[in-house]
Amino acid sequence: MTTRRMLLQSALAGITLGGGLTCQLARAGLPQGALDAAVLERLPGKQPLIKRSYRPPNFETPLAYFDGPITPNDRFFVRWHLMGITEVDARSWRLRIGGDAATKPYELTLEQLKSEFEPVEVVAVCQCSGNRRGLSDPHVAGVQWGYGAMGNARWKGARLKDILARAGLSKDTIEIAIDGADRPALDVTPDFVKSIPAWKALDENTIIAYEMNGEALPHLNGYPARLVVPGWTATYWMKQVVSIQALTKPLANFWMATAYRIPKGKFALVDRFTSQENDTTTPITEIVVNSVITSHADGARVRRGAPIVLEGLAWDAGAGIRRVEVSRDGGRVWEAAELGADLGRFSFRPWQYTTTPSATGVLALMARATNGQGTTQVSELIFNNPGYHNNVIQSVGLTVV
């Protein structure tokens, strides 16, 4: 039987070499421009990741690294919008809480954040809004992510609603704006500041995290504290948080009014951000239901008559994964995969499916997930110019010898 360890070692051996990595990405359907820019590089504190850009640093997790539901810190993807990433000194770091809707503005040290609020944990997927953008057809502009601009971690911190309660929110609070310590290289570049609706900020699962998988947040993932918004795409997961502002009017900067928006009515939204909607677009909010095959790369060689265990991950915005199915005939017949441990409704859910190829040639396998609301992955891309919400059913072709 082909074991998981054998496949992982084989995959990692392949991507360590530039040619092997290029072949894997080409089979994933990435355009030539993305292939030319993709190299495997090691950032401080990280395993080798796929470089998408240097300035700012945007690095993707190879699929072979997703060998369990929790993504280790040193394998977690890196995503920044601005080049000025501050080396924060925890001793001098301060979190300012205020805004025109706060009646009692105040500041917190890191020690106060840890000691003066009830610590809570949540396991949640952090996924870039543009994950899989590089697979869009026709091609769209932006960071050409493949499948790995995401990760799942156990986040520990303080509830944002508890932090806001101390600031004395007024009844007119509409949004909560979050700013990080990163800064643009040029004054003309807008500072990266995002807002979330007040009701989302007051959700018990929305936290200011200071730990990731039992350790202090890595510098490249937001040390010393970051916003965690389970179920929503990572554009709202502000890193290196230094300011929380309660607002009585919608935030109207570039990152809210222009960027990270999808055509209104294009996707079925449960979590609407109504204060930021206009006649034609709405802010991207929750993650769409999705899955990925992690155990076998497209083109992997397997032996006829030997059982193979197909493994992968499934996730959604928090409704939970109801089932994962696998097809061996191009999507005509679907068979149930076995679901693994449930670490929480915002977490990756592992799954596996065992099959034994009886003939040589190409064995085409597809996997799709359905969530607790009955929503299933799509078979055709719901195209949008920013390249968001790509949850097309994945297919891999195994070479049976």
Fold of 290-400: Immunoglobulin-like (2.60.40)
* Residues 135-177 pLDDT 10s: 999 999 999 999 999 999 999 999 999 999 999 999 999 999 9
DSSP codes, 39-75 = EEE--TTS--EEEEETTTTEEEPPGGG--SSSPPGGG
291 and 312 Cβ atoms separated by less than 8 Å: yes
Q: What average pLDDT does the segment 81-87 reach? A: 93
* Residues 341-395 pLDDT 10s: 999 999 999 999 999 999 999 999 999 999 999 999 999 999 999 999 999 999 9
Reported pTM: 0.92
Q: Which residue has the tokens 């005939």?
A: 329
Q: Among 2-16, 28-42, 252-266, name the one with the lowest average pLDDT.
A: 2-16
Fold of 95-128+146-283: Sulfite Oxidase; Chain A, domain 2 (3.90.420)
CA dist 178 and 227 (Å) reads 8
- Please, is 55 exposed, middle or buried when counting C-beta atoms within 10 Å of its C-beta (0-12, 13-18, 19+)? exposed
Confidence of residue 24 (pLDDT cuts 50, 70, 90): low
- Residue 273 has what pLDDT? 98
- Give 352's DSSP letter: E
- Residue 20 has what pLDDT? 52
Residue extents of the structural domains in the chain: 4-79, 95-128+146-283, 290-400
